[in-house]
Structure 1
Amino acid sequence: MQEWITTSEAADRLGVKRGTLYSYVSRGVLTSRRMPGQAESLFDRAEVDSLAAAKHDGRRAGDRLLRFRAVSTRVSTISDDRLLLRGNDIADICATMDFAAAARFVLDVDLPVGCPDVDLSPLAAVPVERRIPLAVALIAAHDPLRADRTDAAARVLGVLPILAATVPEIDLSHPWTDLLATTLIDNGLAASTTAARVAASARAGVFDSLLAGYAALSGPLHGGAPASAYALVESVRAGVDMDRAMSDAVVDGRLPGFGHVIYGGDDPRAIVVLDKMRDDAPDSETLAAADAIISRAGRSVNVDLASAVVSLELGLGPRAGEVLFQYGRTVGMAAHVIEEYGEAPLRWRGSNTGQGRQA
């Protein structure tokens, strides 16, 4: 029996749309791979058949496995492949605000509050992608108001220049990096914002809550994803065979820079950034390599590819995308933390089916 089936066959067997299949892959429910010369992704037949056969309370197993608790938020909304921050389309925000203005808008605060003087010299000994989380950890450790939730938004606004100064290798004032950071401010209840909200639910201070978010962000499938996309674009730009480069880049069945668990089509954040770069640098070899990959992949592009193109074109290094992710998402996570402070405490709790004691 054939072990791998096409996207169309898998979708037919499960009775779902193609976009739903890719969301299953993103969440680890199904495995897919891409073969040279193959127009569609291939799916493991056994996994697809098992998922199609399993039933639970009259629902498909996929629905059961992917069921999440509904949590409302006013920070961002995603609908019909549009991202809205505080009710405003991300494209409109990027057209009218730089990162600093967008941060004030999302945090709903005008003036920053300074943070305590902290010795940040330990940052020199860690990689660039570890500096922002470490800086926030040091600020939290020396903050006499660590448990005080007063002026949380203004205090986060106050630390943004400090965080920017921890990564002098990355010019955060460049129009492309500023734009990318703005698009990365928030994207709904992602792993990082959810982790930050869980900490805030226990009434951790705003900086300690941010640390929980940075921990989730550090995973290779979240904030670390741009590095894999960077390697892909760099290989193609260097002349590596397209199919080989794409095959080598696959991580856990995912082609970095493509597909998204939320967006069925192209990620609107990627469109904003790539369109800006095409306007500014139409002859860029990096953009040409990215466009060739997009054409060959035949999939919807996500912001990780845009991040890779920015980092590679500006010579910022493979981990710059993760740093820009941390910097931009600091604002969104803080906004979620502050919103969570207005909810009932300790509301985030999973169900325990065993008999063990819960503290």
Structure 2
Amino acid sequence: MDQWITTSEAAARLGVKRGTLYSYVSRGVLVSRRQPGQSESLFDRTQIDSLAAAKHDGRRAGDRLLRFRAVATRVSSIRDDRLYLRGRDVAEVCAAMDFAAAARFVLAVDGPRQVATVDDAVIAAVDVERRIPLAVALIAAHDPLRVDRTDASARVLGLLPALTRAVPEIDWAHPWVDLLATTLIDNGLAASTTAARVAASARAGVFDALLAGYAALSGPLHGGAPAAAYDMVDAVVAGTPVERALADAVIDGRLPGFGHVVYGGPDPRARIVFDRIRHDMPDSPALAAADQLTARTGRPVNVDLASAVVARELELGPRAGEVLFQYGRTVGMAAHVVEEYGEAPLRWRGSPNGADRATS
């Protein structure tokens, strides 16, 4: 873990603006330094984390326990409706790398480490959307080093072939599948990523932390959303009026496949996948259905709609989108888990009315 962090990261960890950070320096609360060739000042990570604890708790945290803090991450970032993986635009990552190369890039590891083997027949006996979590649970159960945090990135890289074997119904080598999985690697601190980081903060092993992430991912407003989008696209392809398909698809007041909490315009991941489909198969019935739905709503699309088109056109079934989400996000969650291992433990604060809530 680097002792010195940039101004931007220090401000993010404290949950303040850069101007506030500079005022702390002028008042002697913090000390900064400049390095030749660095565009930003550098701050001592321990000093920043101690101040974060004092801000929220009214007293300095102990050396080993940081009671409250913001999460600063270098795995991904979102700026101006663009997604960056390790500082590189996701469109550039997808253009230059397949999923295997992108996984090595995001996990910052050269090669895999072997993991325990499990009985594929046991995994095949459950529904497709439960197989990846089950495979990871069984591998963790048979892994004598499951709480060992060393080589966690390499072990997750070694885990990926077992995950593809768990769902042989999907052609993992298909370029659309590979591309979609790459776009799904990470998207900031989503529910699944946050859940995995919380488990990692308690120093759970990487496989157990992934299971926490899969649990959050299973919700219909997260990893389950592509299934609802699939049903909507499938209905339009089958001849259901667009208005009826849209009305039937609403979940908890939200329309799957459209809008996103962190993007004001179209989801950049959806654009990447749709551009590939439109290039490869411009007369795709599923693509045409998605276009009709988009025209009727007038709303920006998100990656769940693109996932639905891929699954429908390749005849993968309605739950394939969730499986692809699990597979791609395994890499991102693991990268966050490894990052979290180098941090002081997380702790949230509750309040009677839900105000002034510590964030993840």
Structure 1 position 350, deviation (Å): 3.0
Structure 1 position 242, deviation (Å): 1.1
Alpha-carbon RMSD across the aligned residues, in angstroms, is: 1.3
Structure 1 position 257, deviation (Å): 0.2
Match of 1:230 in 2: 230
Do the aligned partners of 2:118 and 2:139 also contact (CA within 8 Å) in 1? yes
Match of 2:343 in 1: 343
User: Cα deviation per residue 1:198-254 (whole Å; 9 max; x = unaligned)?
Assistant: 000000000000000000000011000000000111111111111111111111111
Q: How many angstroms apart in 2 are the aligned matches of 1:312 and 1:164?
A: 19
Q: How many angstroms apart in 2 are the aligned matches of 1:140 and 1:237?
A: 41
User: Displaced runs of 4+ in structure 1, greater than 3 A?
Assistant: none
Q: Percent identity?
A: 74
Unaligned runs of 5+ in 1: 1-67, 355-359
Q: How many angstroms apart in 1 are the aligned matches of 2:70 and 2:261?
A: 16
Provide the secondary structure at the position in 1 that maps to 2:158.
helix
Match of 1:327 in 2: 327
Match of 1:312 in 2: 312
Do the aligned partners of 1:183 and 1:269 also contact (CA within 8 Å) in 2? yes
Q: What residue identity is the alignment partner of 1:228?
A: A
Q: What residue identity is the alignment partner of 1:248?
A: D
Q: How many angstroms apart in 2 are the aligned matches of 1:176 and 1:350?
A: 43
State how 1:183-332 maps to structure 2 within 5 Å.
Answer: 183-332=183-332
Do the aligned partners of 1:120 and 1:138 also contact (CA within 8 Å) in 2? no
Q: What residue identity is the alignment partner of 2:250?
A: V
User: Cα deviation per residue 1:52-89 (whole Å; 9 max; x = unaligned)?
Assistant: xxxxxxxxxxxxxxxx9732100000011000000000
User: Cα deviation per residue 1:304-329 (whole Å; 9 max; x = unaligned)?
Assistant: 00000000000000000000000000
Q: How many angstroms apart in 2 are the aligned matches of 1:251 and 1:202?
A: 33
Provide the secondary structure at the position in 1 that maps to 2:143.
coil
State how 1:170-181 maps to structure 2 within 5 Å.
Answer: 170-181=170-181
Q: How many angstroms apart in 1 are the aligned matches of 2:215 and 2:247?
A: 29
Q: What residue identity is the alignment partner of 1:93?
A: V
Q: How many angstroms apart in 2 are the aligned matches of 1:197 and 1:304?
A: 23
Structure 1 position 124, deviation (Å): 2.1
User: Cα deviation per residue 1:245-276 (whole Å; 9 max; x = unaligned)?
Assistant: 11111111111100000000000000000000
User: Cα deviation per residue 1:320-341 (whole Å; 9 max; x = unaligned)?
Assistant: 0000000000000000000000
Could you tell me the TM-score, scaled by structure 2's length? 0.78
Do the aligned partners of 2:193 and 2:213 also contact (CA within 8 Å) in 1? yes
Structure 1 position 353, deviation (Å): 4.6
Do the aligned partners of 1:83 and 1:89 also contact (CA within 8 Å) in 2? yes
Unaligned runs of 5+ in 2: 1-67, 354-360
Q: What residue identity is the alignment partner of 1:234?
A: D
